[in-house]
Amino acid sequence: MSCCRENKTAWTLQDPAIDPVLLEPTLVKYAEAPGSLITILQRAQELYGYLPVDLIAYIAHRTGIKPAKALGVVTFYTQFRISPVGKNLILLCQGTACHVNGSAAIEDAIREELQVNEGEITPDGLFTYNNVACLGCCSLSPVMMIGNETYGSLTPEKAKKILQKIVQHEKAGGATA
């Protein structure tokens, strides 16, 4: 990241997949409105999947917030990611009810099936595996979410089968499950 006081006019971001123009409508609407940093960051993550540090610097520049402060906000909240995520984001619930009903075994199953640790992306870029606090579907525990789909009453075998099905689907060139 270059110096925060530098007044750049043209910004190029390291990740070529990130086109700052897409964020322009959000910036026009919120950049001047006080207290909108989190809203802008949420929209940016929705657009790009993650928040690379140079993008955070760009948002800071546009909103007049110091880059260090913006990064401080990003790292404070669990929703924000500073590295890219896989095509399918697995959120394994680690709420109390899920813990009591065996989420640890589901965690083992995911690690084993995908050879991935918590917070990591699989080498093929298909999955990112994250633990989350309560998804609020406690009566179906243990639960995980993949994309927008919620899977409940999991067993290790069931979890593995779900993952295998997605892999098959992806290999067949299908859209995200």
Partner 1 sequence: MSMKVIVGKGSCGIAAGAAKISDRLAVGIENSRIDCDVSVAGCIGMCYLEPIVDVIDNKGGKKTYVRIDAKAADEILKSLLGEPNEAEKYEILDEDSKNLRSQRRIALQNCGLIDPENINEYLAAYGYKAIEKCVTSMKPRQVIEEIKTSGLSGRGGAGFPTWFKWEAARNSPGDKKYVICNADEGDPGAFMDRAVLEGDPHALIEGMLIAAYAIGADEGVVYVRAEYPLAINRLETAMAQARETGILGKGIFGSSFSFDLRIKAGAGAFVCGEETALIASLEGERGMPRIKPPFPAQKGFWQKPSNINNVETYANVPWILREGGAAFAAMGTENSKGTKVFALTGKIKKGGLVEIPMGSTIKDVIYGVGGGIREDKTFKAVQMGGPSGGCIPAELIDTMIDYKTLAATGAIMGSGGMVVMDETTCMVDMARFFLDFTCKESCGKCVHCRIGTKRMLEILEHITKGEGKEGDIELLEDLGQQVKGGSLCGLGQTAPNPVLTTIKYFRNEYEDHINHKKCTAHQCKSLLTYEIDAGKCTGCTLCSRKCPTEAISGEVKKSHEIDREKCIQCGKCAEACHFAAVLVD
Q: Which residues would be at the binding site for partner 1 (CB under 8 A)? A: 34-39, 41-42, 72-73, 76-80, 94-97, 99-101, 132-141, 143, 148, 150-152, 156
Structure tokens at 49: 């999947």
Longest dimension (CA), the chain: 55
Helix (H) or strand (E) holding 21: none
Looking at the Cβ atoms of 29 and 171, the one nearer to partner 1 is 29
Structure tokens at 122: 């699989």
- Min separation Cβ 150 and partner 1, Å: 4
Looking at the Cβ atoms of 79 and 168, the one nearer to partner 1 is 79
Q: Give me the residues paired with residue 127 across strands.
A: 88
- Min separation Cβ 125 and partner 1, Å: 24
Looking at the Cβ atoms of 12 and 117, the one nearer to partner 1 is 117
Distance CA 151, CA 143 (A): 6
Distance CA 101, CA 81 (A): 29
Distance, C-alpha 27 to centroid of its chain:
21
Looking at the Cβ atoms of 10 and 76, the one nearer to partner 1 is 76
Query: CB-based burial of residue 59 (10 Å sphere; 0-12 exposed, 13-18 middle, 19+ buried)?
Result: buried
Looking at the Cβ atoms of 106 and 143, the one nearer to partner 1 is 143
- Min separation Cβ 149 and partner 1, Å: 9
Helix (H) or strand (E) holding 92: strand 88-93
- Min separation Cβ 123 and partner 1, Å: 21
- Min separation Cβ 41 and partner 1, Å: 8
